[in-house]
Structures are given as structure tokens and as C-alpha cells.
Amino acid sequence: MAGAITAGDFRNGVTFEMDGNVLQIVEFQHVKPGKGAAFVRTKCKNVITGSVVERTFNPTDKFETAYVERKEMQYSYSDGDLYYFMDMETFDMLPLNSDVLGDGFKFVKEEMMCKVMSYKGNVFAVEAPTFVELEVTDTEPGFKGDTATNATKPATLETGAQIKVPLFIDVGTVIRVDTRTGEYLERA
């Protein structure tokens, strides 16, 4: 098998083919019980459907490695349910349906670079940049002297996404956000 991998070699992020699906290891644990054979307990994400399943494998189980292409592309604009990404080498536009955009995409604005992930030419996911800088367009005014620790208030960002921010953040402030968690990190 060209590009084969055994379950004993599983690591987070590894992608492999199984039953016509492409799975990516999200979590794994090698288990060696006192009696019986060792096994690998995993959480796998089906990269095409997005569903996550828990499975156990025999460490010697062999699978074909799935080569997932990750291509940096620039988000250009949206038109209805279609989102257009530009290939910065060829300048071709790639229209994608909103269903392949991850949760983090609500923090993406035009001209930001994203990772477009495809398998055998089929795009299954768009990964937002991990950290983005966005302007706060709407939030309640902050209060001078209000230093309650960890107190937050809702804020709307320029992309329309809503997150919680510290009380001292005002409209017009540019903040850094972690798109994986949707959390405020700091003022930019």
C-alpha cells in the first residue's frame, strides 16, 4: 500500500481513508490493558461530512493515507449563499457554498487569507486564519473605573459576528480574536 499508515502511528491531524470516507484524527489514546490486546481509542472527524465519531482500532490496522490539499486562498466576496475565494497564483475565482465554511468564518472579512481544504478536488472545508483583527462596530459604552475582573459585555464586530469583550472596549476599537474559540484576546 503506497502511503499506508497503521493505527499505531495515529497522531492528531492525521488523515486516512476508511470505507470510502476520509477521516482525520482529532484525539487519540494508546491503551494497553493488563489483559488482552492493546488498542487505539480515537475521536475521528469525517472531513467530508464534518461528523465526529469515536472508534477503537487495533494498532496494526492499516489504512491508506488520505492526501488533503490545503491551499491558501483570499476571501473575495459573497453573493447570496456563494462565497468567492481567489487563487493568488492563477487569480482564478473559486465559488464555494456556505456549508463548507467553518464556524470561525464569521470572523473573516474580505481580502483575508484562508486555508481551503480539498480532497481529490472536492472542497470540504475552509479554515479561517487562527487570529484576526476586527473593529468593534457596536457595544454598550464602557464605564470609567469599572474594573470588575473578567466582566464582559456583548459586542458586534465588523463582520457581523458577536462576541464577549471586556468592559473597557468601545466602538471603533480594533481587537484580536481567536477564530477557533471566538474569544477576545487583546486590543490590536
pLDDT in tens for each of the 188 residues of the chain? 457 899 999 988 889 999 888 998 989 999 998 888 899 999 998 887 778 999 999 999 999 999 888 899 999 999 999 999 999 999 999 999 998 888 889 999 999 999 998 888 888 889 899 999 999 999 998 766 556 667 899 999 999 999 999 999 999 999 999 998 999 999 98
CATH 2.30.30.30 residue ranges for the chain: 4-65
Q: What CA–CA distance (Å, rounded) separates 78 from 85?
A: 9
**Which residue, among 87, 122, 129, 136, has the nearest Cα to 108 in the 3D structure?**
129
Residue 1: per-residue pLDDT: 43
Indicate the CATH number for domain 69-127.
Answer: 2.40.50.140
**What is the C-alpha separation between 135 and 77, in angstroms, rounded?**
18
What is the chain's percent helix, strand, coil content, to nearest 5? 5, 55, 40
Which of 2.30.30.30, 3.40.50.2000, 1.20.1250.20, 1.10.10.10 is the CATH number of 4-65? 2.30.30.30
